[in-house]
Amino acid sequence: MNLSQSDWKKQLNEDNNAVILDVRTQQEWEEGIIPNAILNDIYKGQGFIYKLEELDKSKNYYVYCKAGARSSQACNIMKQMGFENTYNLDGGFMNWKGEVSIPEN
């Protein structure tokens, strides 16, 4: 499900079963993230799938990339794998007005 920036942020803040998933590249990740996000680069192909298989399908996943296309694709893949609740950040990180942090290496 695609959510606007404001709806994604509001719903995320009210969700105590939330996981934030960043599907960008390592290089994009290092430029800044939405706090508490976990990285799973969709360009890693089968590696991306393996990491998804390790995740708890009962959680609610808030997924983002730079502009919203990769995260939309990731949500579709996750749905096919049995994840019930995935929320794509419409417009992606480049339009994010919320808090940003620099990930620790």
* Catalytic (active-site) positions: 65
CB 33 within 8 A of CB 101: yes
What is the C-alpha radius of gyration for the chain, rounded to an integer number of angstroms? 12
* Sequence-ordered strand ranges (E) for the chain: 2-3, 18-22, 38-39, 60-64, 85-89
Is residue 24 helix, strand or coil?
A: coil
Mention every residue, 6+ apart, whose C-beta is less than 8 A from residue 80.
Answer: none
